Amino acid sequence: MKSDPIESRSLMETQDVTIKKCRIKGCKRPYRAKGYCNVHHRLWRRGELPKARYKTCSAEDCLKPCHRWGLCQDHFEASLKKNKE
């Protein structure tokens, strides 16, 4: 028994099918996870996007993970040395 092509077409037209896109402006790749495509998701996991997956260092232009006091390991150690002097 074959299904009626007109009937199946009307079912497809009534369904709301939305294809998710990457949240990065100008990227047209399909969605993978966390709102990003494969490429941007990989960058997000590495912490290479401005909005990293973990809290980042509060020092200017530093995207390393926080260690203590809102600073990465390097900036934290530098601030300790500076305070000892």
- Residue 47 pLDDT exceeds 80: no
Q: Is 57 left (phi over 0), alpha (psi -120 to 50) or beta?
A: beta
Strand partners, 36: 33
Determine the 3-state secondary structure of 68 from DSSP.
Answer: strand
What is the predicted pLDDT for the residue at 84? 74
Percent of the chain with pLDDT over 70: 74
What is the token pair recorded at 25? 């402006």
Calculate mean pLDDT across residues 7-32. 72
